[in-house]
Amino acid sequence: MNKGNALIAALLGVVIGICAALVYFSATDDRKFDGDYSRWRKLNLILQQIEENYVDTIDVEAMTDAAVEAALHELDPHSVYLPPVELKESETELAGNFEGIGIQFNVPNDTAIVLSVISGGPSEKAGLLQGDRILKVDDRVIAGVKMPQDSMVMLMKGPSGSKVNITVSRDGTDIPFEIVRDRIPLNSVDAAFMLNDTTGYIRLSKFSRTTYTEFHKASEKLLSEGMKRLVFDIRDNSGGYLDQALLLSNEFLRKGDMIVYMEGLHRSREEFKADGKGSLQDIGLSVLISEASASSSEIFAGAIQDNDRGVIVGRRSFGKGLVQEPVNFTDGSGIRLTVSRFYTPSGRCIQKPYTSDYDYDIIERYSHGEMTDADSIRIDRSVEYHTVSGRKVYGGGGIVPDIFVPIDTTLATGFYVQCNKKAEQMRFASAMFDRYRDRLSEIDDFDELKEYLSGLDLGRRFLEYAAEDGIVPKTGEWEKTEPYLMPQLNALVGRYSKLDDEAFYRFYIEIDDTIRTAVDNPSSVR
Residue 448 CB coordination number (10 Å): 13
Q: Is 320 a catalytic residue?
A: yes
- Phi first, then psi: give them for residue 375, nearest 5 degrees: -70, -10
The one catalytic residue in 295, 297, 317, 333 is 295
d(CA 57, CA 485): 60
Cα distance between residue 15 and residue 11, in whole Å: 6
**Contact assessment for residue 253 and residue 259, using Cβ atoms and an 8 Å cutoff:** yes
DSSP result, 28-73? T-TTS--S--TT-HHHHHHHHHHHHH-SS---HHHHHHHHHHHHHH
DSSP three-state, residue 207: strand
CA distance 389 to 469: 57
- In three-state secondary structure terms, 484 is helix
Active-site residue flag, 268: no
What residues are paired with 80 via a beta bridge? 336
Catalytic residue among 188, 233, 293, 320: 320
Active-site position among 190, 233, 306, 308: 306
Q: How many CB atoms lie within 10 A of CB 32?
A: 12
The answer to whether 51 touches 61, Cβ cutoff 8 Å, is no
Q: CB of 187 within 8 A of CB of 166?
A: no
Phi and psi angles of residue 492, each rounded to the nearest 5 degrees, phi first: -70, -40
Mark whether 295 is an active-site residue.
Answer: yes
Q: Which amino acids are annotated catalytic? A: 295, 306, 320
